[in-house]
């Protein structure tokens, strides 16, 4: 996974994260997302925020302060010939192609 620090000078003041397989966990096991479930034919952008009570939420509807953004590239395909037909086959999801943008937190 590619990591971008929105405020690089504050590198030690970002939310903790860890990846395992296709999943990313943010905070102290507070929020886990299986990023492969979000992959689509178009790029996907996911906002992670703190809500008014300081809990992590996905999206900005109840979010009050940005914590992170996740960028998932569009799904890619290969073409395979199957008899008389050419089929588009999705390439397996690769979390290493995703980008995590970390915002400074207090």
Predicted pLDDT at 40: 97
Which whole-number Å values give the CA distances from 48 to 58, 69, 84, 89, in the listed order? 5, 6, 46, 31
State the Cα–Cα distance between residues 34 and 17, nearest whole angstrom: 13
Question: How far is it between the farthest Cα atoms of the chain?
Answer: 60
Q: Domain limits at 58?
A: 2-102
Going from the first residue of the chain to its last (106 residues), give the mean pLDDT of each consecutive group of 10, the final group possibly shorter.
Answer: 87 90 96 98 97 94 93 96 91 98 91
Q: By three-state DSSP, how is residue 8 classified?
A: helix
Predicted pLDDT at 11: 65
Dihedral (C-alpha) 76, 103, 58, 43: value to the nearest 10 degrees?
Answer: -20
Q: How many domains does the chain divide into?
A: 1
pTM: predicted TM-score of the whole model, two decimal places: 0.90
């Amino acid at each position: 996974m590619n990591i971008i620090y929105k405020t690089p000078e504050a590198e030690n003041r970002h939310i903790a994260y860890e990846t395992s397989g296709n999943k990313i966990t943010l905070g102290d096991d507070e929020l886990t997302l299986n990023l492969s479930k979000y992959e689509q034919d178009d790029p996907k952008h996911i906002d992670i925020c703190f809500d008014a009570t300081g809990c992590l939420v996905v999206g900005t509807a109840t979010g009050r302060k940005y914590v992170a953004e996740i960028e998932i590239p569009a799904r890619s395909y290969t073409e395979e010939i199957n008899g008389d037909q050419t089929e588009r086959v999705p390439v397996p999801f690769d979390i290493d192609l995703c980008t995590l943008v970390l915002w400074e937190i207090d």
